[in-house]
Structure 1
Amino acid sequence: MTPTAQRHFSERLEDFSEAPLNCREIVMLGDSLTELHVWNEAVANNLVLRNRGISWDTSDGLLLRLDEIIAIRPRAVFLLIGTNDLWSGNSPETTASNILKIADRIRTQSPGSLIFVQTIFPVTGAPLNWGAAPNKKVRTINALLKSESDKAGYTLLDTYALMVDRNGFLNAAYTTDGVHLNERGYDVWSALVSDALARHGLWKQTP
């Protein structure tokens, strides 16, 4: 992790300590894709969603900060992690294994919590000129997450399918830089989260 990333990580943990989670809240857990969105305003007008995203975080890093989440026995956790693993040196298999470990720890240590594992978004070839290699890893990770969802005790939300274009890249209409989402992309993601909350009895929209 770069000094900038490490500094931001420490700052976010300090922010979390100053605004601790409350028992049975709903937690959005992940990296910058999660951190950079205002979930309450976009998803639920009468429901608190706590943002525990940290930019530059990986599946390894998230495993190390799960205690805060498990301690409050959350009503639900929405997990999206793994994009930064594409460049951290983790193999797709290691990344998927870490995500499964995260879900398993929540399931076993907070058995009343609903767990929503979201598939990793593709990235765009331009303007960052990454080509197709990262997206091959993404597809491998997502396939592993799909194959394990039933026995691992989580609900899979296929966010990848919403974000991918016909060429296997992140839809250019949804991104600011090939990785991060613009307002339109977040609207698409938020709608999926809203639907999941409603289908599982966690939220009912009010006028």
Structure 2
Amino acid sequence: MRHRLLLGLVGMALAAAGFALGAWRTPSRLDARLYAQNRLIAVQVHLDEAPAEYILLAGDSQAELHSPAQRACGLEIVNGGVSGSSSAVYAELLERLALRTRPRAVALTIGTNDLLVKNDPRGAAAATRFEASLTRIVTRLRAVSDRVVVTAVPPIGRVLAGRLDPLAVTDYSARIRVLCERLGCHYADPFADLRDGETGFAREGAMRDGLHLAAYRPALRALEPALCPVAAAEGGAGSR
């Protein structure tokens, strides 16, 4: 029994690592939730030990793959990203986390896993579900931080054109902007330089595997003016 349990845990870890590090496949709701069971333990530990001021990164693998060694606005990062999460899954996961210390700001990147072609992401039903889930997430984050920044959906590589809907990248990003105007969050696009116009695709070389960025540090630096506008205006410490 113990041997089978160990093999199961190892399998879960390898599957999650494969998704996060580049061996992308279509994640199932079960995959994301199984991985999240262990991932949330680590996130909660880091939240419990967070300093008085820190930046929280939230969302899917586009958040989780940011290096915890990098700082934003001169502040420590707590990485709350969970690879494989759709907006609906992350809305549920976020409710299980306790934020005893308020982050200076929160950066949320979500939406890539909502773009599966088979789910008709630009259809009315899917788009409504996305907006409802995003509303849940933003409402929760607004309750624990005075500044919540929601990014545009990152572009995708052309290799994934048959699996993800590139036009939904632009569509969902526009929905995020409108929702932030209504809910009081801040919209930012730290991926603007990676985009191939309004196609939803990334420029050649911008993505590691079609799904994940080739480099995450520049994206976080590009996000800093939205996360800490006062520090940016004063020429603050910045990220490194």
TM-score (norm 2): 0.71
Q: Which of the numbers 9, 31, 41 marks the counterpart of 1:14?
A: 41
Q: Which of the numbers 188, 211, 223 marks the counterpart of 1:193?
A: 223
Q: Which of the numbers 35, 38, 47 marks the counterpart of 2:75?
A: 47
AA at the equivalent of 2:168:
K
Give the conservation status (yes or no) of the 8 Å contact 1:172–1:178: no
Structure 1 Cα separation of the partners of residues 224 and 80 of structure 2: 18
Q: 1:27 Cα deviation (Å)?
A: 0.4
Give the conservation status (yes or no) of the 8 Å contact 1:92–1:137: no
State the secondary structure of the residue aligned to 2:43.
helix
Q: 1:82 Cα deviation (Å)?
A: 1.0
How many residues are matched?
200
Query: Does residue 1:172 correspond to 2:201, yes or no?
Result: no
AA at the equivalent of 2:229:
R
Structure 2 Cα separation of the partners of residues 104 and 26 of structure 1: 17
Deviations 1:32-88 (A, max 9, x none): 1111120542645x4101101111011112111224255433221100011111228
Partner of 2:180: 149
Give the conservation status (yes or no) of the 8 Å contact 1:27–1:78: yes
Query: Does residue 1:159 correspond to 2:187, yes or no?
Result: no
AA at the equivalent of 1:80:
T
AA at the equivalent of 1:38:
S
Structure with larger Rg: 2
User: Which structure 1 segments of 5+ residues have no match?
Assistant: none
User: Which structure 2 segments of 5+ residues have no match?
Assistant: 1-27
AA at the equivalent of 2:113:
N
RMSD across aligned positions (CA): 2.8
State the secondary structure of the residue aligned to 1:28.
strand
Deviations 1:149-189 (A, max 9, x none): 22310110023533211362122221111110112xx2431
Partner of 1:65: 93
TM-score (norm 1): 0.81
State the secondary structure of the residue aligned to 2:158.
coil
Partner of 2:59: 30
Q: Which of the numbers 130, 147, 159 marks the counterpart of 1:95?
A: 130
Identity of aligned residues (%): 24
AA at the equivalent of 1:119:
A
Deviations 1:65-112 (A, max 9, x none): 2242554332211000111112284613321332122112322x33x5
Structure 2 Cα separation of the partners of residues 2 and 106 of structure 1: 23
State the secondary structure of the residue aligned to 2:150.
strand
Give the conservation status (yes or no) of the 8 Å contact 1:59–1:95: yes
State the secondary structure of the residue aligned to 1:56.
coil
